[in-house]
Amino acid sequence: MKKYSPSLLVVFYLHFSISDLGAQNQKSTRGIDADLAFAHVKKLVSFGPRPPGSPGIAQAQSHIASYLKKLNLQVEQQDFLATTPAGSVAMRNIVAKATGEKSQVIVLASHYDTKLMHGSLFVGANDGASSTGLLMELARVISQQRGIYPVWFVFFDGEEAQRDWTETDSLYGSRYFVEKLKGDGTAGKVKAMILLDMVGDKDLVLERDLSSTPWLLDLVIKSAYELGYGKHIATLPKAMTDDHIPFVRDGIPAVDLIDYNFGFDNLYWHSVNDTLDKVSPQSLKVTGEIVLRTLNKLEAK
């Protein structure tokens, strides 16, 4: 542990008292099981690298879809051919729907592909698997009770660039999903979109993302503080480009829960060091609880 100056010590103890409050509040939220979420992450990582069109992602697809079906959710697949700098690539979004009383829906999302890294074994335990595993656990928890709003659990393919990140070489799944919503005339039905990405870091600090819809980001931050998780929210803002952008561009309220500092100076990000030992079940639980509390607030809005 680092040495703390007396003034920092005060801050340190303050965190503890807020955390105690969080422990009490946990009883009032529907429970995320950290071990179940982590087991999903482990399983996804066991499939090896999972870039679009790979044998690994095919295994991930059938695993995710069969799990969602076991939860008695309505599961749909969106298959499409993405035009990428590396040629046409077959991609698939997986969408599972939980019913609710209202007609507006809430979208919870994660990308489940991993970055294509030629010549290295990149398994994306944090970048791809952590948020996907947590989304599967959120689907279990939320499907157990009928909510006010229907919830769509959306697993995006092709978030990563197939060569180098540009506006057209990235976010394939989310761009396709929003285009489809627009085509169906259902984009207006989405009350809010909550995106999860890289949420497994042991040292979890979720960004105050400048690209997210401000009122929705405020709900997330408020939820985190109420749970005693204020220390998991960054102090300084950052602007993220992620799967929420196509939604924001279309006027759909969207927020990105991402920790974009993975390891010291983001050293583990997009590196072979993004392995299972870097993923913390507790960080998955913290993020999951923040999502559930945000959902409660959205229902009260």
By the criterion CB under 5 A, which residues form the site for Zn ion? 127
Backbone φ and ψ of 59, nearest 5°: -65, -40
- What are the helix and strand counts (H, E) for the chain? 8, 8
Q: Nearest-CB residue to Zn ion?
A: 127
- In the complex with Zn ion, the residue whose CB is nearer, 127 or 169, is 127
Q: How far is the CB of 15 from Zn ion (least distance, A)?
A: 30
Q: Least separation, in Å, of the C-beta of 243 and Zn ion? A: 11
Q: For the chain, give the number of residues.
A: 301
Q: Which is nearer to Zn ion, 138 or 240 (CB)?
A: 240
β-bridge partners, 238? 209
Question: At its nearest, how many Å lie between Zn ion and the CB of residue 157?
Answer: 13
State which residue, 127 or 137, has the beta carbon closest to Zn ion: 127
Burial of 226 (0-12, 13-18, 19+ CB in 10 A): middle
To the nearest whole angstrom, how small is the minimum distance from the Cβ of residue 270 to Zn ion?
A: 6
Smallest gap, in angstroms, from Cβ of residue 127 to Zn ion? 4
Distance of CA 68 to the CA centre of its chain: 16
Tell me whether residue 115 or residue 232 sits nearer to Zn ion (CB atom).
115
| Residue 63 Rama label (left phi>0; alpha psi -120 to 50; beta) | alpha
| Choice between 172 and 229, CB closer to Zn ion | 172
298 near 105, Cβ under 8 Å? no
